[in-house]
């Protein structure tokens, strides 16, 4: 898959200085509907599963609790950049461009709990993932401190979209998007998006593919935002500074 040759990325040179590093993640996080003329810049750990399931249902009437069935239907209904003939100019002119974002602190804590701490889900080393802390008896705050150091000093934020800054995995600069919703106001933002795209407000499909109801063990311990020290907040701010600057979030929740 020669992402670097796709016109959309060639035209991104001037507007997205990090696209060479992040183009693979950007491609995987872009959901294009040529039928309904919208581009959803997906942000993992920002209600992405619910938004995706709601868009799939609105377009096809399909819903399922099965992760693979939903993923297959998404692939049938929507295109990634490299699977389309879209250009940046065409996207700007003809498509409704949107994203749903989340406070950077809440998002990375959710990612840590789900992808690094919870050994019932990922218990092997996979490219782009931080190995879960299997059989680690330390206090969760001490484990998070080690995790934070990896965010700061390794390339994990480039190799995995769960850890990447939200603004780095968007196909457009936030200022180019037509609408940016927030997890914190999803109850009003998602119905607006659906009405804007489909002319009606189909039901929101609340879908959590990693919930206990889908066969995953409930989490016995987890990190919380209120457990962050001020120093950790300052360090996270430095890692995700662009998200704070361009998405309008305050440093404190």
pLDDT at 192: 96
Q: Is residue 253 part of a domain?
A: no
Q: Is residue 232 part of a domain?
A: yes
Q: Is residue 252 part of a domain?
A: no
pLDDT tens by residue, 200-227: 877 887 777 655 444 445 556 789 999 9
First to last CA, the chain: 40
Rounded distance, CA 98 to CA 114, Å? Answer: 25
Domain that holds residue 211: 3-247
Q: Is residue 53 part of a domain?
A: yes
Q: Is residue 19 part of a domain?
A: yes
Q: What is the pTM of this model?
A: 0.87
Q: Is residue 121 part of a domain?
A: yes
Q: Is residue 211 part of a domain?
A: yes
Query: Domains in the chain: how many in total?
Result: 1
pLDDT at 134: 60
pLDDT tens by residue, 55-100: 999 999 998 888 888 889 999 999 999 888 888 888 989 999 999 9
């Amino acid at each position: 898959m020669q992402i670097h040759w796709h016109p959309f990325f060639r035209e991104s040179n001037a507007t997205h200085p990090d696209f060479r590093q992040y183009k693979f993640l950007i491609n995987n996080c872009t959901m294009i509907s040529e039928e309904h003329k919208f581009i959803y810049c997906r942000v993992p750990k920002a209600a992405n599963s619910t938004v995706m399931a709601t868009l799939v249902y609105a377009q096809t009437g399909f819903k399922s609790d099965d992760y693979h069935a939903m993923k297959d239907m998404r692939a049938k209904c929507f295109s990634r950049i490299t699977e389309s003939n879209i250009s940046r100019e065409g996207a700007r002119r003809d498509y409704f461009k949107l994203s749903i974002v989340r406070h950077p602190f809440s998002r990375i804590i959710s990612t840590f709990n789900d992808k690094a701490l919870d050994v019932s889900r990922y218990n092997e080393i996979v490219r782009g993932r931080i190995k879960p802390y299997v059989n680690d008896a330390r206090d969760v705050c001490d484990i998070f401190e080690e995790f934070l150091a990896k965010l700061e000093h390794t390339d994990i934020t480039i190799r995995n979209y769960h850890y990447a800054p939200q603004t780095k995995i968007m196909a457009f600069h936030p200022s180019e998007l037509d609408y940016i919703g927030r997890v914190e106001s999803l109850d009003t933002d998602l119905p607006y998006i659906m009405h804007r795209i489909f002319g009606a407000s189909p039901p929101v499909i609340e879908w959590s593919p990693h919930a206990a109801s889908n066969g995953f063990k409930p989490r016995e311990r987890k990190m919380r935002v209120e457990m962050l020290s001020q120093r950790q907040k300052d360090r996270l701010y430095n890692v995700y500074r662009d998200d704070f600057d361009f998405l309008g979030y305050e440093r404190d929740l």
